[in-house]
Amino acid sequence: MWKKILGIGASKREKDLVALYDRVPKEKRPRHIAIIMDGNGRWAEGKGLIRTAGHRAGVHTLRSILQVCVDLGIEVLTVYAFSTENWKRPRPEVDFLMSLFSEYLEKEIQEMEDNHVRLRFLGREDGMSEALLRQMHGAEDRLAAGDGLQFNIAANYGGQDEILRAVRTLAARAAAGDLAPDAIDAAAFSAALDTAGQPPVDLMIRTSGDLRLSNFLLWQAAYAEFWFTETNWPDFTPEEFVQAIVDFAQRKRRFGGLNPRKGK
Ligand code: FPP
């Protein structure tokens, strides 16, 4: 049950997690956390299971991480569920993932609503079925009034594609005389992205050992701190998640400025 951590019935494990997070000074906490949920296939293969079993197990992990974000009061969580390149996977795996997204929305929407989660999908619409798009829009509309966690699901998403779509939008406005080219600054550009109105990514987590960004949130992650783990996504735990936040809080972020140890 969500919010259990803060209420009666919280286990020692849950209380320990909250206590650990509470020790992180408020001004050091990440506002926006992004996760590349990698390693579902490897997890399944390691257990002699078919790859799709890994994706199904990955849904359980996502559920527990979303729950912990709600309980800790994280502002924005973005997860990479399906990239514009993932269409190259075998059709049965793509179809399985699409039906898993649909099943996930159906099962989780009530709990998200009860916990004031606001949902936004990042990415392109073409290629997704009409029925799934209706469900996605319906879920966004139903949760639009949520004033808690902002939860973004990147589905049919690519960072370069998002930037190109924003460029086209701004270029069309400029060509129509609605926007002066000089007015296209970082704020105007950010406002044309799928994450409009949201803070940039502070902490980028990638599971399963690969050390790359894979076309995820290229603009938004400009000054993100990276945290990598060998753990496959289905085995990723709330403990590891909070450990990443604790590690993040100990980093010195300079945003291109001087290293305080070297500066005057
Ligand atoms: C990467 O693992 C994972 C994906 C491409 C899909 C992520 C989807 C989920 C975690 C399912 C839950 C999501 C939602 C929104 C319900 P991989 O298959 O590339 O693993 P591998 O690198 O080991 O092959």
pLDDT of residue 17: 87
How close is the Cα of 100 to the center of ligand 1, in Å? 11
In a domain, 188, yes or no: no
The set of catalytic residues is 38, 86
Q: Which of 37, 61, 103 to mutate to test ligand 1, by most ligand atoms within 8 A of the CB atom?
A: 37
Please state the domain count of the chain: 1
pLDDT of residue 1: 44
Q: How far is residue 186 from each of residues 115, 123, 220, measured CA to CA in Å?
A: 33, 20, 11
pLDDT of residue 58: 98
In a domain, 165, yes or no: no
Cα–Cα distance, 197 to 17 (Å, whole number) = 30
In a domain, 59, yes or no: yes
In a domain, 55, yes or no: yes
Cβ of 100 below 6 Å from ligand 1: yes
Cβ of 62 below 6 Å from ligand 1: yes
In a domain, 23, yes or no: no
In a domain, 164, yes or no: no
The CATH number of the domain holding residue 58 is: 3.40.1180.10
Q: Domain containing 43: what range? A: 28-158+202-249
Cβ of 153 below 6 Å from ligand 1: yes
pLDDT of residue 174: 97
Nearest CA, atom 16, ligand 1: 101
What is the CA angle 145-146-147, rounded to 5?
110
- Torsions phi, psi of 107, nearest 5? -75, -35
In a domain, 186, yes or no: no
* pLDDT of the chain, 264 residues: tens digit per residue: 445 555 566 788 888 888 999 999 999 999 999 999 999 999 999 999 999 999 999 999 999 999 999 999 999 999 999 999 999 999 999 999 999 999 999 999 999 999 999 999 999 999 999 999 999 999 999 999 999 999 999 999 999 999 999 999 999 999 999 999 999 999 999 999 999 999 999 999 999 999 999 999 999 999 999 999 999 999 999 999 999 999 999 999 988 888 766 544
Nearest CA, atom 7, ligand 1: 81
Cβ of 59 below 6 Å from ligand 1: yes
In a domain, 131, yes or no: yes
